[in-house]
Amino acid sequence: MSYILDALKKNSEERKEREKQPHTIFYRSQQKKNEKSNLSLILLMVILVCIPAFITGFWFKKRLDTLVNPENRSEKTVITKKTTSAPPPSPHSAPVPETEPKKSIPRLEELPLPFQASLPEMKYSGHVYSENPSRRLIMINSSVIREGERISGDIKLLEITENGLIMSCHATKFRIDLF
């Protein structure tokens, strides 16, 4: 029985000694391993999505080419209708109104200084050119002006061109190049 008592005593001493020592638990960091596995998982997903996309794109392109330009056309069908029509009217030229070439109209800077000084100050803040003349407009001194309208006094906007304006003042035509 003394053996049993000695063993119990020794066991209780070891337990007390273990309780006095601080408990240290070591954990291995899993963060770096998780980052690497996440990156490889994302890369794998991208590859798995891209490969089928490229294959189907290639297949559809090849299929589209064969539909647009089929090489196996064995026969052509031509349907002709016989109709009688009057001969086309003989072309006759309508008189073309003579217009001045836009480049022959002098620029405002080329006109005499007294004429330039007689014009009021104009600030251009918007220029819209269209092939359709009814859609052309320009912002002069914060006002929307269209072709044919008067700007002020005797100054009239004759035409809005791609690069500027053609105006008239006191029966003198001049152009202003904005661009």
**What is the model's pLDDT at position 62?**
72
Contact 138, 145 (CB under 8 A): yes
Contact 137, 128 (CB under 8 A): yes
One domain for residues 64 and 109: no
Task: Examine residue 142 and state whether it is found in any structural domain, yes or no.
Answer: yes
Q: What is the pLDDT along the chain (179 residues), one digit of tens a residue?
A: 778 888 999 999 988 887 776 656 665 655 555 666 788 889 999 999 988 888 888 777 776 666 655 555 444 444 545 555 555 555 555 554 444 455 689 999 999 999 988 888 888 888 899 999 989 999 988 889 999 999 888 899 999 999 899 999 988 999 999 87
Task: Examine residue 115 and state whether it is found in any structural domain, yes or no.
Answer: yes
Task: Examine residue 10 and state whether it is found in any structural domain, yes or no.
Answer: no
Task: Examine residue 95 and state whether it is found in any structural domain, yes or no.
Answer: no
Task: Report the C-alpha gap between 61 and 161 in whole angstroms.
Answer: 45
Residue at which a domain ends, from 69, 92, 124: 69
Task: Examine residue 8 and state whether it is found in any structural domain, yes or no.
Answer: no
**What is the model's pLDDT at position 137?**
92
Range of the domain at 163: 105-177
One domain for residues 114 and 173: yes
Task: Examine residue 123 and state whether it is found in any structural domain, yes or no.
Answer: yes
One domain for residues 59 and 114: no
pTM of the predicted protein model: 0.43
The structural domain count of the chain equals 2
Task: Examine residue 78 and state whether it is found in any structural domain, yes or no.
Answer: no
One domain for residues 114 and 64: no
